[in-house]
């Protein structure tokens, strides 16, 4: 089976190689091992000068399998940029889709992605079957952010309402849809299109292992967060929890924050204001590899304090290293974390609940081992190859039973 994947995440095309922070591109190789060919449509920008080239190579270099054919599409920074340059984007990408998608048996579109507007027209004309992978709610993305103000916010909300309507149409007319968590299925699911829960993984079979239990024998409790440093990630509540654990409970607690984002400066200032110098370390973006492996291996507990989420792949990665998990009960997190079995689920926005969970894990070795065992078991059942095989098997079934694009 040959599959066309239409992806909207921008990447750099530099010296014939692709550089990107999009972790799904690593998962594409797992899909490719299950397929005859992957035709990957990807917005690719070539550096205009040496400064852009240096910026490009900071990203992870993506080396694709030989049966992955990458088709560069028109790059744009955001939704505003997409609509501003729509005539040019439309001409370029419609031609790219028409000329290259014909060889595929089925297409996979992601929601919310702006290019779906153009791709759907091409697929409809060719009567090609497609599936949809819903990874977010465009209305929540717009309403939950503070990027746009005034008139621009009104226009962005109008665009989000239109796109939400279009995505529901797209799903109804598909041969089937994957949903990144049960919450999104409740918003976008359609009786006219079979629905499946699915999430990707970056953990290979040989990367799940039981290390020596984290004994905390030296009295230290090492917490870890990996992800964007954005306000919606709830890191302010995590800093408050660290302060309470240290000042009120007397725990020798330390926190490493791995990631970049618009809230990083504010978080550093808050950490200093709370008197956490020497206890909170901001590591910046740490790509998957030796450095991140070392940080995971040196940690005791992984904490995800998000106020909103999809289905975060980082939880499976932390489980594969034998870390007990504390995560907020938001979005698709409960699809991974089963409270008391492979981690703790807590209410979002509550520093006290984070602190209580940390104390329970730190002081109860048997509980810690139970959570670690449950996490390792879940990670083994959801490796990248198994998740890719599951997704491709569904696509084969829907291709055999489905119809063309209405």
Same domain, 180 and 210: no
Task: Give the separation between CA 404 and CA 232, rounded to whole angstroms.
Answer: 39
Position 215 confidence tier, pLDDT thresholds 50, 70, 90 = low
Cross-strand pairs, 109: 6, 132
CATH code of 335's domain? 3.40.50.2000
Residue 397 lies in a domain: yes
Q: Do you find a cis peptide bond into 131, omega within 30 degrees of 0?
A: no
User: Quick count: other Cβ atoms within 10 Å of Cβ 21?
Assistant: 16
pLDDT digits (tens, 9 = 90+) for 308-318: 887 888 999 99
Q: Are residues 70 and 145 in the same domain?
A: yes
* Number of C-beta neighbours around residue 128 at 10 A: 18
Residue 15 has pLDDT above 90, yes or no: no
Same domain, 396 and 356: no
Overall number of domains in the chain: 2
Q: Are residues 189 and 216 in the same domain?
A: no
Q: Are residues 185 and 227 in the same domain?
A: no
Structural domain span for residue 332: 205-381
Q: Do 290 and 365 have their domain in common? A: yes
User: Do residue 155 and residue 34 come from a single domain?
Assistant: yes
Q: Is residue 406 part of a domain?
A: no
Distances (CA, A) of 21 to 58, 149, 260: 9, 27, 12
Could you give the CA distance from residue 30 to residue 392 in angstroms, rounded to a whole number? Answer: 10
* Structure confidence by residue, pLDDT tens digits, 30-89: 999 999 999 999 999 999 888 888 888 878 889 999 999 999 999 987 777 888 899 999
User: Is 102 in the same domain as 214?
Assistant: no
Q: pLDDT tens for residues 260-314?
A: 888 999 999 999 999 999 999 999 988 878 889 899 989 999 999 998 887 888 9
Dihedral angle over CA of 126, 90, 163, 196, nearest 10: 40
Task: Dump strand ranges (E) for 268-352.
Answer: 280-284, 301-304, 325-328, 344-346
* Same domain flag for 122 and 209: no
Predicted TM-score of the model (pTM): 0.82
The sign of the torsion formed by the CA atoms of 166, 132, 318, 344 equals positive
What was the pLDDT predicted at 162?
Answer: 87
| Same domain? 193 vs 214 | no
197 and 230: one domain? no
| Residue 182: closest CA among 171, 164, 197 | 197
Same domain, 186 and 59: yes
């Amino acid at each position: 089976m040959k599959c066309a994947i239409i992806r909207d995440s921008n990447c750099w095309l530099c010296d014939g190689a692709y550089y990107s922070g999009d972790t799904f591109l690593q998962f594409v190789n797992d899909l490719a091992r299950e397929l005859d060919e992957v035709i990957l449509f990807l917005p690719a920008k070539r550096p205009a000068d040496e400064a852009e080239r240096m910026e490009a190579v900071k990203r992870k270099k993506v080396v694709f399998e030989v049966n992955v054919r990458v088709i560069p599409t028109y790059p744009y920074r955001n939704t505003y940029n997409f609509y501003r340059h729509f005539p040019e984007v439309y001409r370029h990408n419609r031609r790219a889709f028409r000329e290259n998608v014909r060889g595929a048996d089925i297409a996979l579109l992601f929601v919310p992605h702006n290019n779906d507007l153009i791709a759907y027209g091409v697929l409809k004309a060719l009567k090609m079957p497609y599936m949809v992978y819903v990874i977010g709610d465009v209305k929540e993305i717009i309403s939950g952010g503070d990027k746009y103000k005034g008139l621009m916010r009104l226009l962005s909300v109008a665009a989000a309402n239109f796109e939400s309507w279009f995505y529901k149409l797209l799903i109804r007319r598909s041969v089937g849809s994957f949903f990144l968590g049960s919450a999104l299925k409740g918003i976008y699911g359609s009786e006219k299109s079979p629905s499946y829960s699915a999430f990707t993984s970056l953990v290979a079979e040989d990367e799940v292992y039981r290390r020596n239990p984290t004994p905390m024998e030296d009295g230290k409790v090492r917490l870890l967060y990996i992800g964007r440093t954005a306000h919606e990630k709830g890191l302010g509540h995590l800093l408050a929890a660290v302060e309470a654990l240290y000042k009120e409970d007397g725990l020798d607690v330390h926190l490493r924050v791995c990631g970049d984002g618009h809230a990083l400066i504010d978080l550093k200032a808050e950490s200093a204001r709370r008197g956490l110098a020497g206890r909170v370390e901001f590591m910046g973006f740490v790509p998957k590899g030796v450095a991140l492996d070392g940080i995971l291996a040196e940690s005791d507990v992984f904490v995800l304090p998000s106020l909103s989420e999809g289905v975060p792949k980082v939880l499976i990665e932390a489980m594969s290293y034998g870390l007990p998990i504390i995560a907020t009960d938001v979005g698709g997190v409960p699809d991974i974390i089963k409270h008391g079995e492979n981690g703790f689920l807590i209410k979002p926005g509550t520093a006290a609940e984070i602190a209580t969970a940390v104390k329970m894990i730190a002081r109860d070795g048997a509980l810690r081992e139970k959570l670690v065992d449950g996490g390792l078991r879940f990670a083994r059942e959801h490796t990248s190859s198994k998740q890719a095989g599951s997704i491709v098997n569904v696509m084969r079934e829907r291709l055999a039973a489905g119809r063309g694009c209405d």
